[in-house]
Structure 1
Amino acid sequence: MASAVPPAASRVAVVTGASSGIGAATGRRLAAAGYRVVLTARRKDRVEALAEEINASGGSAAAYQLDVTDRAAVDEFATAFQSIGVLVNNAGGALGADPVATGDPADWRTMYETNVIGTLNLTQALLPKLVASGDGTVIVVSSTAGLGTYEGGAGYVAAKHGAHVLAETLRLEIVGQPVRVIEIAPGMVRTEGFALTRYGGDEEKAAKVYEGVAEPLTADDVADAIAWTVTRPSHVNVDLMVLRPRAQASNTKVHRER
């Protein structure tokens, strides 16, 4: 079935973490699907540049500087909207790859605050607006890390499992309301900054994540999946979509060409 232009009441889509990677690609995809996209991130210059790009290409976009872990800022942001149709909780990220015995509690706390509490903040603040639209969708971008652990990944796994459980529980709690809850769980995605941030700017370590992998997923692959789930008929809820490149069978089994 072809995608339809969303009805006016649900035509606004908020995307967090939209300054780069999956968030930026999702903003472009949803704008192309007929949504007015509201791009949020801490890096104001990046979301403003993306909004200009989308508007110049015939789409509709606005940019807001927003830290999803700042509840007061999130609540103020929410007052700008009477209703919205889509919330894409994409802001997140990984820090470090140390074992549990030596992991940095500050890194764990930052990952939990961004991936879980940030998602909670936006969802709580905007859920009444999503209900008011009469046809809302909450997207939680988690990770295959939230579905299966691996050595050196416990902090990130714990945070993404929290995001997974948040989505699963919310779906139970609001059943009967005109809002879908969709979780997108990507595996290995090669974006401009994910691995580099995880390894504290160490380019050599970041490069090794993708070494020998012929075709990791791209940000646009994930954005395409997000846009597809959002544009299904309103009665269709894609509870959980797991995406991996063909070369990745699990979090710990990846084919690498030598």
Structure 2
Amino acid sequence: MLQIYKNAAITHVSKESLEIRQMELDWYTRNYDAMARQAAMFAGFAFEQITEPVPASTPFLLEMAYICLTALALGFNLCVCMSSTFCVIFGRRLGLFGCGARSVHLAVENMHKAQQFTFLQFLLGLLSYLMAHVFETWIYFRRNVALVLCIPLSVFVLAIIYYVVTIVDQLVLPDDKAVFGHVVAWSRYENLNDLDAEAYRYEKSRPSKCSSAVSGAKDALVGAARATHIGTMEQSKSRRIVEDVEGSSKSQRF
């Protein structure tokens, strides 16, 4: 009975540790979902933009700059969509179906590492998309109209860069100052095996009563047959000795 209460206490401690890590897992999941939705929208715009034919009178360098920026926007946003989708699906799967609490820690740590690179791809895709629109104004409009459109677009691009740098600098917390949900003091209680699987493995490895009885009867029969064979050999050996003695006594008489 005490063993059951001890196991319940250890399981309760491990469960509380997992509830703390679940908050981090949900937070990363929401971040990936937000980036995936925005990146999918920009990828759709970039795909529609890259499929439109460029006028034949467009200068070569301007055309190449426009096409390259649009392709970069499409590629970066698609990478963000795929990375976010894979992290959400396989990260939560690892935390849910993994063995022990270590699988949850591994899922959270890997999602934390992948988030920085995914966010960088999202920013590069956004800037490439905005810069492509700046070059697009010089392709589809006259020079005076393009100049009028290019000035506010450039101002907004610079404003977006400024706000991104400012917000990241003020709100992003470095890893050395952040508090994570991994409780190191409870690490010893996180390497718990599945009790159901362990019990099933024990029952499977232990021989049943019927098989034990059958094997015991088989051993008894084998022992009896071996004893009978030994007895028969001893009897035949005794007969030979008696016959040899009788034959030697008869030869002495004659």
Instruction: Indicate the TM-score class for this superposition, using the shorter chain for normalisation.
Output: under 0.3
TM-score by length of 1: 0.24
User: Looking at CA atoms only, which structure, 1 or 2, has the larger radius of gyration?
Assistant: 2
More strand by share: 1
**Higher RCO, Cα 8 Å, sep 6+:** 2
